[in-house]
Structure 1
Amino acid sequence: MSLSLVTALLLVGLPVADRVCAALAEQRIAERIAARQHTLSGTPQVTIGGFPFLLNAARGAFPTVEVQADATTEEGRSVRATVELRDVAERDGGYEAASADAVFTAPFDSLGEGLGPDATLSADGAGRLRVEAEILGLPLTVVAEPRLTGRTISLVPVAASFAGRPVDPSGPRISAAFADRKVEVPELPAGLTPTRVSVDDAGVTLHARGDDIRLT
């Protein structure tokens, strides 16, 4: 076998072997997360960033590690979680991340409990929540702004209409209906801290961040 052929085989084979090793490591990490986090639905998806993986593994440091998972809250709500860990390094027999950003998204169909069978939730296109329902056979639409205060998520009505006519969103009936919709954010994994809440076509999303995250 010529030297050029050997070189060609190495150039093709090494990246493949590197990717296989990375995939095996991602699968092991996913299985460990699933074993520890009992609220997850199935095995999460883990992506280790950086190439070559084997060199990063030998150094015990990775530029990014991303985890995506489906979970169910204690209230039975479905949540899609994505956590991006940056500058992950081996320290003191475990791993630490210099920082982490996470999003936890609840789809609209998991948030409508208590609004009535005909109520629908959607994004209004401006980062707010649109609630549509029927009262005595007439349409009621309320647009509410999500707000995060500490660990409490609340919805503040900012616009409303009934039977096609504008009504005061701060009126007692609408205000009372939304006063009971507050949600306390539970303790997040890895000590993440809630930073803000947003609304888009995917649902209502809680954003969180952490620094100096101890993983194991």
Structure 2
Amino acid sequence: MRVARILLIVVVVLGGLFVAADRIAVTVAQNKAAQRAQATENLTEKPKVSITGFPFLTQVLSGKLDDVKVSADDIAAGDGSQSVRIDSFHADLYGVKLSNGFSRAIADSADGQAFITYADLSKAAPAGIKVSYAGPSASGTPRVKLTGSFMGAHLSVLSDIVLKKDTIGLHAQGLPKELTALGLEGKVRDEIDFTSQVTHLPANLELTSVTTTPDGISVRVGGKDIVLAN
């Protein structure tokens, strides 16, 4: 009986040490992954990386992580004049396969969300144009309101939010008759219709849908075979 108790104690202690080692290993891995992401994508702040599932070490040995969660704030998504700031971003990466000495990582699938404030959309818009909440449309098409001035005249229009795989843009539903009557539609659209490319997204991760809120727009992202490192 005493031998059994001793063996039980040893097993419990060893198990506790394994758990401790496992937790230390996952903490180190999360920190290293966040540091690498920050450096590679030139982010102003280090993202948060959370590797779920237990044990972590057996997942590493198998070469595949079940679920990796990534969150980041204050991301400049674009270059130069076409840049738009992402206020917050979160993604869940499923089935992350590791290879080439852990230098290559591809997720079976991923989904997430990026939030962009109207203030940041206004900064990405042409000078003098303010982007704000327009409320839900009858057709369900996501839209925003643009206000500003053009050639000394006040401008207030509703614009559809247009998503493509890696771009987000605004397209005015209609323009004031006093401007179109003067043949200025093309010139006005050159000013208020715009598209920004969303950079710093992993390969094969695409913009899929968008919804508007009183504070900003929420963009869903998703995809398969997401290349995280190569």
Does the alignment pair 1:63 with 2:66? yes
1:154 to 144, 169, 182: 169
> What is the letter of the counterpart of residue 192 of structure 1?
N
- Please tell me the residue identity of whatever aligns with 1:77: V
What is the aligned counterpart of 2:210 among 190, 198, 201? 198
Match of 1:53 among 52, 56, 73: 56
Normalising to structure 2: TM-score of the pair?
0.67
Deviations 1:160-216 (A, max 9, x none): 9xxxxxx77x96778854553321425554323534341333533444444323323
Task: State the secondary structure of the residue aligned to 1:190.
Answer: coil
Amino acid of the structure 2 residue aligned with 1:204 = I
102-111 or 1-10: which moved more? 1-10
Listed as ranges, the gaps of 5+ residues in structure 1 are 161-166
1:38-72: per-residue Cα shift (whole Å, max 9, x none)? Answer: 2x112111111222212212222111212222322
* Percent identity for Structure 1 against Structure 2: 21
Q: Which moved more, 1:125-134 or 1:94-103?
A: 125-134
Greater mean deviation of Cα atoms: 93-102 or 61-70: 93-102
How far did 1:27 drift?
A: 0.2
Aligned Cα root-mean-square deviation (Å): 3.9
CA contact (8 A) 2:99 2:105 kept: yes
Alignment partner for residue 92 of structure 2, among 81, 84, 88?
A: 84
More helix by share: 2
Tell me which moved more, 42-51 or 102-111: 102-111
The equivalent residue for 1:121 is 132
- Which residue is 1:213 aligned to? 226
Number of positions where the alignment pairs a residue of Structure 1 with one of Structure 2: 207
Q: Is the 8 A contact 1:60 1:89 kept in 2?
A: yes
1:86–1:98 Cα contact (<8 Å) kept: yes
Contact 1:147–1:196, Cα closer than 8 Å, also in 2: no
Q: 1:112 to 1:187 in 2, by over 3 A?
A: closer
Counterparts of 1:2-81 in structure 2 under 5 Å? 3=6, 14-38=18-42, 40-69=43-72, 70-72=74-76, 73-75=78-80, 77-79=84-86, 80-81=88-89
Check the 8 A contact 2:170/2:195 in 1, yes or no.
no
3-state SS, counterpart of residue 112 of structure 1: helix
- Structure 2: runs of 5+ lacking an equivalent: none
For the residues of structure 1 that align with 2:116 and 2:108, how far apart are their CA atoms? 27
CA distance in 1 between counterparts of 2:164 and 2:226 reads 23
Shift in Å, 1:28: 0.6
Q: Distance in 1 between matches of 2:13 and 2:109?
A: 39
